[in-house]
Structures are given as structure tokens and as C-alpha cells.
Structure 1
Amino acid sequence: MRTDLVSRDNNSDEAKYRFVKHNTTARRHLASSHRKKYEKFCKDNNFISMLPSDTATRRAEQLSKLTQTNLDAVVELVERKEPVIMYSDEAFSKAALEWLVCTDQPISAFQHEKFRAMILVASRATGKVKIPGRKLTRQGIMNLYWDIMRAMKEKFAVRTILIIMFSLDIHIQGSRTVLLDLFLSPVMHGLLVMETLTLL
């Protein structure tokens, strides 16, 4: 299309109009000068108005109808269940080796009588084996410690004992030495305590 004025005949009707390349200019002209005629034309011919204001209104209506979809209607929340591992010699051996390595236990730990006793007790469980948490484990260790102290009091019939604990070696005042092999090394290994306890 031509963008300059038609100059073939200044008296002709074509000379009154300017031809442009972009249809948006024509739409803006229709909206400002011939809106009623254009709307009547659209209504009579079942034509969708392409005036800038009308298209902007249609876009706004479409955007207002849009909603963010979600999966609430199709997704069901389920509680995660621990996988059930059936017993087999291979599975037990693998679990025992992983425990040995992760807890930095000596290779001879499997042959320790306390370890074997623990496995024997667990094997007789009728359901799941409940493993105590840190708080209960700490309290259990303290209770076991004081049970041993009371037993030593009754055995030696003394009231005050000088205790030196280092790597679970407990030296009683005098010439007697008692070794407590309680598997308490994760808590008490390397602990040096010298105090006078009065057992009630």
C-alpha cells in the first residue's frame, strides 16, 4: 500500500485519503470516527469486532476465567510405610555388616556374647522390635549404671567408694579391680571421672 497522498488528481476522492501499511491504524480510525457504523456492520454480519478496545476487553475476560490448576482432586495423600524386608541369611548378613561398618565396631563384635544375646531376644519377638530413642537409651544406661553400683555396695558392704572410670575400667579403692563389660563405649569411652559417691 502507498503511504503518500494520492497525487494523480487532487480533485478526486482518492486524494482525500491516506493509504497505510498497518491495519491497526485503520482500526483506530474506525474506533474514533466510525464506531457506530462499524458496530452495526459487525452485528448485521455476525462479525467479531476487532477494534483495539473490544479485543482488549475480550482478552481481559479470558484472563479472568483462567485459574491455576492443581492436583488436589486427583492426588490422594497416603502415609508412607516402611518396606517390609523378609528374613533371609543374606539379608541379615548384609544388615549386620552395614551396622558393623557404620558404627565403627570391631570385627569381633559379632562373636560377643552380648551381641548374640541381643539378636536372640529380638528373634523371639512376636511383632515389630521397638528400638528405644536417644532419651530412653540414655536413661536406660544411667539406670543400669546405678543398678551395678548398688550391687557393688551390697557385695562389698561399703558406703563410700572411690571410683575411677576410664574405658569402662572401674577401680575400687584398695586392691580389687572390676571390669564392667557393658557395651557402653559410645557414651563412656575415654571418660575419666574421679569422685567420691555416697550410695544410698
Structure 2
Amino acid sequence: VLVNEITTLCRHAEAHFSGKYHKWANQHSFESMLPGDVKACKENAAQQMINAHLTELKSERVVPYSDKLFRQAAIEWLVATDQPIQALDHPKFQELIHVASHATNGVRIPGRKGTRAEIMRMFKNHLTRLRTTLNVSDVCVCLWYFVSLGFIECCCQVKRQYHL
């Protein structure tokens, strides 16, 4: 009984004529389509497992809090970043320390990219709230300068004047 199936023909060619087929495929720059060769090609192209290459990160050693250690870290931060001594008295710095002091598992400091994205998000939210508060459709974010007689003039392309 003859069966007209391509898979049967491929298996037959692989079993009985693989040498001749490979020779012909090499001469004609043809990629072998025999089932065994296709399977081997797929296995070679498959992504390898990376589990053997993964290593577990060691958890950071959490230093227990002490007032002396905090003072030392704060002074080192002031000196290293060339901050004025008054920076420790700034309300936003104190708010930062207050928020961080409530962390139970340490504090994760965001990187540059994350910080930049968050600043942009906060700025857009601020502009949205400003538009709502001023009840205007377009808030001009540009350099404003004082003009005589109590007028403020926008320095962008569209000149608008608002009386103080």
C-alpha cells in the first residue's frame, strides 16, 4: 500500500538515501530538510537554559541604627556633596528622613533614570493641577518678566498680558 504523505517520503529518504541527499544538498547549497536534520537544527537554535548561570544575590547587611552613626553619615553626606550645613534643617530633608525612618526593610534609593521619570511625572501632574486651578486650557511655561505699570508679559511667541 502506497501512502502519498510528505512525512512518509521524508522518513523514507532519510532512512535509505541520506548520504546521496546530503551530497546533493551540499553541491546545490541547499539546507537539509530531512526530519533528523530539521530536529537537530531546531535544538541548536533553541535558547539554552540560564538557570546554571544564575546566582542568588546576597542580601545587603543592614546596619542597626544609632544616633552617632546617623550624625556621622549626615556629616559625611554634607561634606561629600558640598551641601551647606543648613541643608540638615531644610523641611524637605527632614521629611525625607522621617519617611525613611518608618521603613521596615531598609530604603531602596532610586537610580537616575527612575528619578528623572518621577520628576517628569510630578511636573506634568503639577501643570495639570495648575491648569485646573487657573481654569485655562493652556498654561504658558516660559520665562516671565516684570513690565512697568504692574503688567506681566509672557516672553513666548504668543504675547499675552495679565494685570497684577
When the two structures are superposed, what TM-score results if normalisation uses the length of structure 2?
Answer: 0.50
Give the helix-richer structure, 1 or 2.
2
1 or 2 for the larger relative contact order (CA 8 Å, sep ≥6)?
1
When the two structures are superposed, what TM-score results if normalisation uses the length of structure 1?
Answer: 0.42
